[in-house]
Amino acid sequence: MPSFPPSLILLGTAVLVAVLPNRARPWAFLLGPGVLLAYLAFSVEAGDSLHGRFLDMDVMPVRVDNLSLLFGYIFAVVTLLGGIYALHMKERGQQVTALLYAGAAQGVVFAGDLLTLVVFWEVLAVTSVYLIWARGSSTAQAAGNRYLFVHVAGGALLLLGVLWHAGETGSLLFEHFQENTAGWLILGGVALNAAIPPLHAWLPDAYPESTVTGAVFLSVLTTKTAVYVLARGFAGWDILIWAGAAMALYGVVFAVQANDIRRVLSYDVISKVGFMVVGVGLGTGVALNGVAALAVADVLYKSLLFMGAGSVLYATGRSKLTELGTLGGSMRLVLILFMAGALAASSLPLLSGFVTKSVVILAAEEEHRDWLVLILYAATAGTFLSVGLRLPYFIWLGTPDGETRMLQRLPWGMLTAMTLAALGSIGLGVYPDFLYDRLPFELDYEPYTALHVVLTLQLLLFTGLAFWLLRRVLAPERKMLLDVDWLYRKANKLVRMFVQEPLETLFSGTERLANALTSYGGKLAIEPETAWNSLRRKLRPLADTRVSQVGRPSLGTAVAAILMTFAVVTLIAFLR
């Protein structure tokens, strides 16, 4: 029986790291995930829970079963790997925020009630955005602003759904949702974090702009916590089969066109999450096992790929494929480790993707959905084309527009973390039963059949041949790749004129009114006549309020907007 929520270990470590000196902070960072892994191994087991009461309803801050325990373990592992990768970093803000972010992910995973889920969901959004802003560039600032707006909107949608659900059922417990109004609202909030198109543009917009070390955490925690919530609450929803299939193809189509390394990998995140969403939609025991297994494998090889991309950016200062090439001699070890992750993502036999992605495909075959099986195999080929071939070829073997050279050597922590992640991907591929035995449901599956191995090798071989014949066509280009973000990028002036400016004018007027009432409230009690005349003069200009800096509201404006949002959400939920 756990004596306290596992998330508190990382949150407490964040407080410790915040007050330690520079030299001690990177090592103290590792203490958190290390202690967490020990706590999960020796003090927590399936069936454990913590209970309480809130507003005369049962709450469960901690609920442990095989699904939550598996996600808790892999999130702790990637937090440890991210800490090793960032041992060279001395920036206090990133270290503290990464721990808070990882702690919030643990809070979501072990949440047994919707109140706990919503609280940690919001912490997840607020802390993760700092890892984008911390890069310090103007593009990172803008991308972070968009990221935060989108996730706060998703959080509000989730909150509305939770309030609606509580009003209908009188319960806050986190269980499987019905296909009713509350369920659809909650699904909308979760789908945004899962990057289900067309709610996905925030991901390839923000991740490439994050810091080198922050991208490692961003690449796995936000989307995989969303996958966990989907598996917990929406298993068997048919719409997710179609959404996941679209994601699987959508991601690889855009990945083949992107120029920035981390943008390519961001689209591959969407594709892999699509496989998991398909599994959730199928909803069978085999499918949910595939979701959990693929999530574990994807956390390892996706973090490895973002570590490799970050290493290239750290060493050369470049991340565009058109600016890279001829790095094979100077970054040979990074190439080898990167290829371990890329081939795992491409489902090469003896690597983790081969023994996990195929479980989702098996579930689709058992449901006799042949069209879905074809789409998932096509997406696998697309991953090999974009991540396994195109990326390494143009990073290490391509001809850049200018000279590509190493600006600084890689810290040993970066190479160590990549090596450990690569060994993990190989280990799961060689000995899949270690993972299969820890899945939510019993799984009787042998991935290494002759048919499966031969079919996969043929698929990868023909994809490789196609790349070689079309490598000039697939060469990166210096162009902006617009996704559905075109809608708000192109419509920026209209949105500002008809939506943003009127709202900010309203909020500015509200803020000035609140400031005036607060300032003169005390005076009104002491000198009523003088204060009243002064207050009227202050209120008179409100009719002509203008916004001087559109897009940069003050703290008071933000607070007013948040309060109004929550007031409207609560009113809708309780007055329906």
Total-model pTM: 0.84
pLDDT score for 263: 95
Q: Is 43's pLDDT higher than 60?
A: yes
Q: What is the pLDDT of residues 454-465, one digit of tens each?
A: 999 999 999 999
- Considering the domain architecture, whether residues 325 and 356 belong to the same structural domain is answered as yes
**Is residue 50 within a helix (H) or strand (E), and if so which, with residue range?**
strand 49-54
- Considering the domain architecture, whether residues 225 and 250 belong to the same structural domain is answered as no
Query: Which of these, 232, 303, 241, lies nearest to 71 by C-alpha position?
Result: 232
CB 132 within 8 A of CB 144: yes
Maximal CA-CA distance, the chain: 92
CB 198 within 8 A of CB 34: no
Chain-centre distance of CA 363, in angstroms?
25
- Considering the domain architecture, whether residues 438 and 540 belong to the same structural domain is answered as no
Percent of the chain beyond pLDDT 90?
A: 68
Residue ending a domain, choose from 233, 268, 302:
233
**Is residue 499 within a helix (H) or strand (E), and if so which, with residue range?**
none
- Distance between CA atoms of residues 86 and 217, nearest Å: 11
Instruction: Identify the domain containing residue 424 by its residue range.
Output: 235-487
Higher pLDDT, 506 or 470: 470
- Considering the domain architecture, whether residues 163 and 94 belong to the same structural domain is answered as yes
- Distance between CA atoms of residues 230 and 158, nearest Å: 13
- Distance between CA atoms of residues 26 and 24, nearest Å: 6
CB atoms closer than 10 angstroms to residue 170:
9
Q: Is 180 helix (H, G, I), strand (E, B) or coil?
A: coil
- Considering the domain architecture, whether residues 396 and 428 belong to the same structural domain is answered as yes
CB 44 within 8 A of CB 64: yes
Q: How many domains does the chain have?
A: 3
Higher pLDDT, 496 or 13: 13
pLDDT score for 186: 96
pLDDT score for 504: 57
Residue ending a domain, choose from 469, 487, 505:
487
Confidence of residue 514 (pLDDT cuts 50, 70, 90): low
pLDDT score for 550: 39
- Distance between CA atoms of residues 384 and 379, nearest Å: 9
Higher pLDDT, 109 or 505: 109
- Considering the domain architecture, whether residues 417 and 508 belong to the same structural domain is answered as no
- Considering the domain architecture, whether residues 420 and 522 belong to the same structural domain is answered as no
pLDDT score for 438: 94
Cα of first residue to Cα of last residue in the chain, in angstroms, is: 40
Q: Give mean pLDDT, residues 255-282.
A: 96
Confidence of residue 397 (pLDDT cuts 50, 70, 90): confident
In angstroms, what is the C-alpha Rg of the chain? 25
Considering only 29-43, 200-214, 278-292, 553-567, which range has the smallest mean pLDDT?
553-567
For the ranges 1-15, 335-349, 541-555, the one whose mean pLDDT is highest:
335-349
Q: Give mean pLDDT, residues 56-85.
A: 94
- Considering the domain architecture, whether residues 122 and 104 belong to the same structural domain is answered as yes
- Distance between CA atoms of residues 38 and 28, nearest Å: 16
CB 207 within 8 A of CB 215: yes
Mean pLDDT over each residue of the chain, to the nearest integer: 86
CB 317 within 8 A of CB 256: no
Q: Is 313's pLDDT higher than 70?
A: yes
pLDDT score for 509: 63
Q: What is the pLDDT of residues 183-238, one digit of tens each?
A: 999 999 999 999 998 888 899 999 999 999 999 999 999 999 999 999 999 999 99
Considering only 314-323, 526-535, 538-547, which range has the smallest mean pLDDT?
538-547
- Which structure tokens are listed for 525? 């009690």
pLDDT score for 478: 79
Q: What is the pLDDT of residues 481-501, one digit of tens each?
A: 767 766 655 555 655 565 556
Percent of the chain beyond pLDDT 70?
A: 82
Q: What is the pLDDT of residues 108-131, one digit of tens each?
A: 999 999 999 999 999 999 999 999
Considering only 312-326, 402-416, 447-461, 477-491, which range has the smallest mean pLDDT?
477-491
- Considering the domain architecture, whether residues 183 and 160 belong to the same structural domain is answered as yes
- Distance between CA atoms of residues 345 and 440, nearest Å: 23
Residue ending a domain, choose from 210, 233, 256:
233
- Which structure tokens are listed for 6? 């596992």
- Burial 115-143, CB ≥16 within 10 A → b, else e: bbbbebbbbbbbbbbbbbbbbeeeebeeb
Confidence of residue 556 (pLDDT cuts 50, 70, 90): very low
Q: Is 399's pLDDT higher than 60?
A: yes
pLDDT score for 535: 55
Q: Give mean pLDDT, residues 381-388.
A: 96
- Considering the domain architecture, whether residues 374 and 411 belong to the same structural domain is answered as yes
- Considering the domain architecture, whether residues 26 and 102 belong to the same structural domain is answered as yes
- Considering the domain architecture, whether residues 259 and 214 belong to the same structural domain is answered as no
